Structure 1
């Protein structure tokens, strides 16, 4: 699944709904880390998210 493409996300959700009828657990284990002070996602600064999804 390409998480940068809404169509692939929607297709995955639809497949889960059709085949399993529910999703009990989802693990996102891909990403990168940068040295420095950690920031909470709730701080409203989402500038780091695009970098997380451009790992290809």
Structure 2
């Protein structure tokens, strides 16, 4: 998830342990962007998919 407003942006990668809801993801991404006090309606929210690869040892 990417949250942005103007030049401020916060990135949160998916599948983080302990982050179980979309609301938690949004809150963390807004904190990273410095947008904690900004309402959800006033930020741009983008989502993306991630391809994870595991290296065999």
Length-normalised TM-score, structure 1: 0.30
Give the number of the structure whose alpha-carbon radius of gyration is greater. Answer: 1
**Structure ranking higher on relative contact order (CA contacts 8 Å, 6+ apart):** 2
Q: Quick check: which one's strand share is greater?
A: 2
Length-normalised TM-score, structure 2: 0.29
